[in-house]
Chains A and B, each alone.
Chain A
Amino acid sequence: MAAAERTERLLNLVIALLSTRRRLRKDQIRQAVPQYAAAATDEAFDRMFERDKEELRDLGVPLVTGSDEAWFEDEVGYRVDRDAWELPAVDVTPAELAVLGLASRVWQQASLAGPASRALVKLRALGVEPDESSLVGVEPRVRTTEPAFGPLYAATRDRAPVAFRYRTGATGVTARRRVEPWAITSCYGRWYLVGHDLDREAPRVFRLDRVASSVTRTGRPATAPVPEDLDARALVRGRTEQPAERTARVRLAGRAGAGLRLRAGAAPDAGVVDLPFADVDELAAEVAALGADAVVLEPPDLRDAVAAGLRAVLAAHDDAAAVAS
């Protein structure tokens, strides 16, 4: 029952830090919480305490650090600020509580599921029973499958500058990028980071699924404010909904390529279709999926992108290709 023991330890720690007027030094805390007394070494205790402190902060516990006495400057002590502890009185109505439940379920399959459900429990403890009769139909859900979401979300929240390797869509080249995060936005099934690119000295939008390394924080939280007129959503949409300014000419076999034909407004059996497009990569993937049934006639960069993709497929299946040929 390690988890139960840990909960006991955390609860005793909270009560000890709430019950004291003066800040408690670490050695006093170690004595006050029975589960700490059991720590075998100083290092083991330090590790436990550091982790517990972070956990309490995540839950909203207002932890105060520092020294009360000027002549013990080096002695850091801890207590909980009782004035900042309490959830302000909120007169949530039953219908509002139901809507808040819906809001928390947006994250049900995402990395903020824990905080979202904890928040709801705190609000339910105010004593109101939710009235779900006014809820209408749709329950939005969002997921956070990109490994970079956790660190980039936290960096955006803390306004901490970060660095990571990033794969550019058009070229496939991976390069190190340094960014001061402004916002993190989910649009059309993907998460995007909007921020100030520290090397290019300009705002940039990054797709989280193209972050090709772990994310490291490179410095203290930024002091420059997020631009007031920043419309992260518009920037991201601008990126995803690039106007289809170019046209591709694609030869289709038989009735293949139903999706492409629709977009081109072509007949179900047209042999060659003209397709407006914006993103070379995305159209190249669609064409490659059709195999020998679709051949790009122009432009050349799209042709090359399709061929490069197919060669990569072939290379990935090298052994199999040897068997087949």
Chain B
Amino acid sequence: MSPAARSGPGGGRVSGPPAVAPGAGAADRLSRLLAMVPWLLERQGVALDDAARHFAITTDQLVDDLELLFVCGAPGHMPDDLIEAEWESGRVYLGNADAISRPLRLGQDEALALLVGLRTLADLERPGGGQDAVVQSALAKLSAAAGDAAAAATSVQVDITAGADPGVLAVVRGALARGRRLHLRYLVATRDEVTERDVDPLDLATLDGRWYLQAWCHRSQGLRRFRLDRVLAADELETPAQPPADVADARFGDELFAPDERGPLVVLDLAPAARWVAESVPVEDVAELDAGGDGEPVLRVRLRVVDDAWLRRLVLRLGGAARVVSPPALAAEVAAAARAALAAAGEAPAAAREAPAGPARVDP
């Protein structure tokens, strides 16, 4: 089994750590403090636990925040200038924070991120669908609240409607909503074969405009991911979906796709044109190599590969943008496959150096 097969027949990796940990960094923390102070001022005596829960942080983090507020204040920084904070009793009291008693407006990137997100959700809904009215009213209110910051939001768009056949999408969503089994005709691109199977749908997600179905597959008796653009036909069956109890709650975002530990380790060097590989298959680690001079930057990745044929196809498709560093036997296999393919096509293994470029070339 290849890494791609393990992450579902589609080979798309949907889960993974966020690119930026929420709450990381001084700016994010400052932003939280500036949001928290007006909220606490209006709720003197609120329980520590309730306040922490409201801002989705731990009680310890909240106490850290209060300790920080406690040593900040107006210029002079004499005791009278500092913010007063009291929480010993388990209830929070705040004072002397008039300067920051009103909530701060949204920054440009902040407003833009939410507005673009809302428009993406609006695309997802059929007009008049259950969530549609709420998305539209949230859009209107946020646009008004964002003021000038909203202006740039129309210049960023996420088009998620291109990635799936509307007919297939409707059948899959219907089966999910009614809890029914699906029959799929599916192209397993990584193995280059068309398959027929019954699956119990569990979750539907769209990542980067591609749609993925997560389902219990009765053919392989396992949890699988399917790319909807490779579903050739989908039919809802009368049978109710009955996935095994231990996978019934599986959702995208769960870390189900750890690298396969059984396969041998393969080291690949990726030029910029092949960098997407590091994002779409589970890799053990990634290192940026120093290109030196004006060469292109190179990304070195290590991944476990059980199916050599899968890797060979991947490298052949990448046209030199990926290089197998080790094991040497696999690199030799890739080279031999390229050589054989050129021979089958009646092409020389290297472009003739003296031959003039251009239309004068005659095909054999």
Contact = CB atoms under 8 A, between A and B. Distances in A.
B272 A317 contact: no
Contacts of B207: 140-143
A107 interface: yes
Interface string B84-115: 00000000000000011011111111111111
B192 interface: yes
A106 B120 contact: yes
Interface string B14-54: 10111110111111111111111011001000000000001
Contacts of A317: 323-324, 331-332, 334-335, 338
Contacts of B110: 59-60, 115-116, 118-119, 122
A144 B19 contact: yes
Nearest to B194: A258
A306 B351 CA distance: 12
A106 B28 contact: no
B96 to A, nearest CB: 11
Contact of A7 (B68, B275, B317): B68
Contacts of A218: none
Given A188-B210, A317-B335, A140 B105 contact: no
A184 B155 contact: yes
B225 to A, nearest CB: 14
B104 A85 contact: yes
A295 B276 contact: no
Contacts of A226: 155
A244 interface: no
A227 interface: no
Contacts of B187: 258-259, 262
A127 to B, nearest CB: 7
B180 interface: no
A58 interface: yes
A136 B32 CA distance: 28
Given A7-B26, A124-B55, A186-B208, A103 B68 contact: no
A292 interface: yes
A115 B138 CA distance: 18
Interface string A27-62: 000011110000000000000000000010111111
B31 A121 contact: yes
Contacts of A182: 155
Contacts of B38: 125
Interface in A224-239: 226, 232-233, 236-237
Interface string A63-102: 0000000000000000000001111101111011001101
A163 interface: no
A124 B26 CA distance: 20
Interface in A112-130: 112-122, 124-127, 129
B14 A60 contact: no
Contacts, number: 437
A99 B138 contact: yes
Contacts of A137: 173, 176, 203-204
B144 to A, nearest CB: 7
B117 A139 contact: no
Interface string A303-325: 11011111111111111110111
A277 interface: no
Contacts of B120: 103, 106, 140, 142
Contact of A55 (B27, B102, B115, B253): B27
Contact of A185 (B75, B138, B144, B159): B159
A105 B107 CA distance: 17
A100 B142 contact: yes
B72 interface: yes
B112 A87 contact: no
B158 A303 contact: no
Nearest to B131: A136
Given A19-B75, A188-B163, 17 more contacts: A8-B71, A18-B99, A19-B99, A55-B27, A100-B138, A118-B32, A122-B104, A138-B204, A142-B208, A187-B159, A188-B208, A290-B192, A290-B341, A313-B316, A313-B334, A315-B350, A323-B328
22 contacts: A3-B29, A7-B26, A7-B29, A8-B71, A11-B69, A34-B77, A55-B30, A60-B106, A87-B103, A87-B145, A91-B141, A93-B134, A114-B28, A115-B107, A120-B114, A124-B55, A156-B152, A240-B162, A259-B189, A311-B351, A317-B323, A318-B335
